[in-house]
Amino acid sequence: MKTGSMLSIQNLSVSIDSNPILAGLSLTVPAGEVHAIMGPNGAGKSTLSYALAGKPGYTVTAGSATLDGEDLLALEPNERAARGVFLSFQYPIEIPGVPALTFLRTALNAQRKARGESEVSAPNFLKLVRAKAAELKMDFDMLKRPLNVGFSGGEKKRMEILQMAVLLPKLAILDETDSGLDIDALRIVAEGVNAMRGPERSMLVITHYQRLLDYIRPDRVHVLAGGRIVASGGPELAHELERAGYDQYSKVAA
């Protein structure tokens, strides 16, 4: 029986250009749970997401991160993706010359190949993407255009969620997915995310504001400040932060 996924981060320290950003961060996300990471600007929220995804230049100096008990930090970024790690980028990248559909199909088949699964045929792939795009109220023809080129901020974020819906990760990290979205786009994106909640999928929702968490209700909320988790609680913690601000934690961290 499949036990579902679990992210376990122990005492993780990460530096960029020898500057320590994360300093002994520990966090556990049980299978099927959605955890929010909140914190002031510069606390290391994006560093955490990039370090888990394996971005070059993010040097792990101490600690561990495992997914289902497997050491993530020893893997290449594409190997982590094939194991089920998905990062929804705060600023999705434009890729001129590569149609979004081509990119997504290449990614899906690369992941399937890495897992020893057969490739998805072109008709089945298109059927799948058409259905997911409709759920996210995306214009299918847009997917024939080069990935994210000329897309609005909201379209780029929807494109991220569409990719997540097609790739079906075990661990989804949503980095400031609410930034740049108006309220309608936020609702659609949140519905897309909520539709993917399930017992075999964990999510890490990184946000500066509480607003997103009205739509994506987290099981737990963690406060990241000074490169560590300084407080954890239930959903009510997000509201408390919205009221009281991050100042108290900045002082703790300093």
Partner 1 sequence: MSVARAIETRDAALLPSRRDEDWRWTDLRGLIRAVPPASPVHDGGLPVGPFAGVEGDEIAIVNGRGPDLLTVAAGETRIAALRFYSGAQAGAHFSRMAITVGEGASLTLLETYETAAADYLVGAEIDISLGQGARLERIVIAADGAEGASTSMALVIMAPEARFAQTLLTHGARRQRLETRVDHPGAGAHARLDGVYLLSDKRHADLTTVVTHAGVGGDTDQLTKGVAADQARGVFQGRIVVSPGADKTDAKMGHHALILSDRAEIDAKPELEIWADDVSCSHGNTVGALDEEALFYARQRGIPEAEARAMLTGAFVGEVVDRIAHDGARAVAQAWVARKLGVAS
Query: Closest separation between CB of residue 94 and partner 1, Å?
Result: 8
Considering beta carbons, is residue 89 or 246 the nearer one to partner 1?
89
DSSP characters over 79-130: HHHHHTEEEE-SSPPPEEEEEHHHHHHHHHHHHHHHTTPPPPPHHHHHHHHH
132 close to 196: Cβ distance less than 8 angstroms: no
Q: How many residues bind partner 1 (CB under 8 A)?
A: 32
Considering beta carbons, is residue 83 or 228 the nearer one to partner 1?
83
Query: Closest separation between CB of residue 28 and partner 1, Å?
Result: 23
Of 5, 15, 46, 111, the residue at the interface with partner 1 (CB under 8 A) is 111
Query: Closest separation between CB of residue 82 and partner 1, Å?
Result: 5
39 part of the interface to partner 1, by CB under 8 A:
no
90 part of the interface to partner 1, by CB under 8 A:
no
22 close to 51: Cβ distance less than 8 angstroms: yes
Structure tokens at 156: 């780029």
133: amino acid identity, one letter = A
Query: Closest separation between CB of residue 64 and partner 1, Å?
Result: 20
Cβ-proximal residues to 39 (8 Å cutoff; 6+ apart), any chain: 45, 208, 223, 224, 225, 246, 249
Q: How many CB atoms lie within 10 A of CB 98?
A: 15
Of 40, 63, 92, 218, the residue at the interface with partner 1 (CB under 8 A) is 92
Q: Which residues bind partner 1 (CB under 8 A)?
A: 53-56, 76-78, 80-82, 85-87, 89, 92-98, 103-104, 106-108, 110-111, 114, 146, 163, 167
